Amino acid sequence: MKIIERGELLKEIKLAVPTKGGGGLEDVISDVFGRAETFTIIDMEGKDVKRVEVIRNPAVSYKHGAGPIVVKMLIDSGVNVVLSGELGPGSSALLEQHNVTMITVKPGISVSEAIRKVSWSTIDIRI
């Protein structure tokens, strides 16, 4: 595992954002993680968006255990950064165990706005 230190420019990021629909970068960030309707997956090089994909959440209707299923889906997709509102303790622990960097953002704003607001040079990202 390599940790990208503050100030270093990360070359490749695979970012996951819990979202409310299929709008990609213009979609709104969900106020829930494990039961978000969709996840917007973004491949970035530096600060440039290279690819956007929207994935339906297979655990959206689960009464219990949605978080671990979502985390497995994201890990299997190669995600190394999650932008989200609050995460439950189980999801947070699993993401940390898999070296996924978690960045808290305000739910209800667009994915593109959240990406713009993140100070990428001040965050340690594990790859």
With residue 69 as reference, give the H or E element that holds it: helix 66-76
In this structure, which topology does domain 3-126 adopt according to CATH? Answer: Nucleotidyltransferase; domain 5 (3.30.420)
Residue 34: the pLDDT is: 94
Q: State the 10-residue block means of pLDDT for the chain, 127 residues long.
A: 47 92 96 96 90 96 92 97 93 95 93 86 58
* % helix, strand, coil for the chain, step of 5: 25, 30, 45
Q: Domain spans of the chain?
A: 3-126
- pLDDT at residue 10, rounded to an integer: 54
Would you state the structure tokens that stand for residue 67, as one six-digit string? 């978080």
pLDDT value for 2: 43
